[in-house]
């Protein structure tokens, strides 16, 4: 059995690696060629292209890199045809993967999508084409199963959220070295240079107002150390760590986190957080008109209420972050209330069981039919 798996971001690399491990557990002889990152390669995938070459953030940035994106699409199609996989497994990354899905269906290749594009947030009309070109859809957010069934008459499979198993695995580890003698504030400013440069400078200015804490930045896998050292050199109580984001969250008293998967990871580790978002002016203005969601944080979206504070665009200021962070560190009632919501969130996301194992089982059973 030959699989071709495509993930285009750090989170996709993580979930892809766990899926590869689960697939190999069922059938050790399978062959997997993939687009992703170091984790997918370490799990046994033959890495074709690293996600660091693929990730472009926001509308303006995508437009500026269209030529590169189209080159990658053409190369990917050619590589798939040469490899002749039994199934194509696509992990999130919809701008790229939905184009590949449509093409692959035309080639007679089985298309499995793991981790649905967030069509319930924007570009909802994509679902019509998705139904036509995706043979099996596996979703990881509990409300997505009903969304597809009730609104689009499409039966999809809910497998639970793969972050739950990843967090549980990390929390059971022993002998984790301390990252600082001071109490720690975690900074998770994103995985792409464009977004880091928008958000991290504000977070760094906040660090000056909390001199008794050590602020530690979780380094993005695709960025080099010189990039961070240049940004951090003027701040005495700020450092960074590489490949230790979960160690950092296990030791943090609070966190400043950009929108996306990191907000959910932080909540699953039980860390009080402030969600911070700022994009380019053009990207934000376009997004504000197209995105149809009440919240930008996955925590709030899943719980369907404001669980964690969101500071967006012009509201993302040094003073606003300082006030929220101070309250999270000192307000005992708020922390207790937040933890109750975090517990409810984790229970909700665990209903599908072990997501990677369930997804792998569904994929293997589907292809065996």
- Domains of the chain in sequence order: 2-160+352-368 (3.40.50.2000), 169-349 (3.40.50.2000)
What pLDDT digit, counting tens, does each position of 208-238 carry? 999 999 999 999 876 788 999 999 999 999 9
Helices 318-330 and 193-207: crossing angle in degrees, nearest 10, is 60
First to last CA, the chain: 14
CA 313 to chain centre: 20
pLDDT digits (tens, 9 = 90+) for 100-149: 999 999 999 999 999 999 898 878 999 999 999 999 999 999 899 999 99
CA distance 339 to 268: 10
The secondary structure element, H or E, covering residue 277 is: strand 273-277
pLDDT of 28 reads 95
Q: Which of 242, 263, 237 is nearest to 185 (CA)?
A: 237
**For the chain, what's the residue count?**
369
pLDDT tens-place string over residues 54-106: 665 555 555 566 677 788 899 999 999 999 999 999 999 998 999 999 999 99
**352 pLDDT above the threshold of 90:** no
Q: Which two tokens stand for residue 253?
A: 């008293």
Q: Work out the pLDDT band at 53, boundaries 50, 70, 90.
A: confident
Average pLDDT score over residue span 314-337: 97
């Amino acid at each position: 059995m030959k699989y071709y798996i495509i993930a285009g971001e750090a989170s996709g690399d993580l979930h892809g690696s766990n899926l590869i491990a689960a697939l190999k557990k069922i059938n050790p002889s399978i062959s997997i060629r993939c687009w992703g990152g170091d984790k997918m390669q370490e799990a046994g995938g033959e890495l074709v292209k690293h996600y660091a070459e693929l990730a472009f953030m926001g509308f303006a940035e995508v437009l500026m890199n269209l030529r590169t994106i189209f080159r990658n699409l053409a190369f990917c199609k050619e590589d798939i045809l040469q490899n002749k996989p039994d199934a194509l497994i696509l992990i999130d990354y919809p701008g790229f993967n939905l184009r590949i899905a449509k093409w692959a269906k035309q080639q007679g290749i089985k298309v499995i999508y793991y981790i649905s594009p967030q069509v319930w947030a924007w570009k909802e009309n994509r679902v019509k084409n998705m139904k036509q070109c995706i043979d099996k859809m596996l979703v990881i957010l509990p409300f997505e199963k009903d969304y597809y069934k009730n609104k689009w008459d499409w039966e999809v499979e809910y497998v639970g959220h793969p972050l739950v198993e990843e967090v549980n695995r990390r929390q059971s580890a022993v002998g984790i070295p301390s990252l600082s003698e001071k109490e720690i504030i975690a900074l998770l400013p994103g995985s792409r240079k464009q977004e880091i440069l928008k958000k991290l400078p504000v977070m760094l200015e906040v660090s000056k107002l909390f001199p008794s804490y050590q602020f530690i930045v979780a380094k993005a896998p695709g960025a080099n150390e010189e990039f961070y050292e240049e940004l951090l050199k003027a701040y005495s109580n700020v450092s960074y760590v590489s490949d230790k984001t979960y160690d950092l969250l296990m030791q943090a008293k609070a966190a400043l986190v950009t929108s996306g998967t990191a907000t959910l990871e932080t909540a699953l580790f039980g860390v009080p957080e402030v969600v911070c978002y700022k994009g380019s002016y053009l990207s934000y203005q376009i997004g504000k008109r197209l995105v149809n969601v009440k919240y930008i944080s996955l925590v709030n979206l899943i719980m369907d209420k404001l669980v964690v504070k969101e500071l967006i665009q012009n509201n993302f200021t040094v003073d606003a972050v300082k006030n929220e962070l101070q309250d999270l560190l000192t307000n005992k009632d708020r922390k207790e209330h937040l933890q109750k919501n975090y517990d409810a969130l984790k229970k909700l996301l665990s209903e599908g069981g072990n997501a990677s194992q369930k997804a792998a089982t569904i994929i293997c059973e589907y292809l065996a039919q």
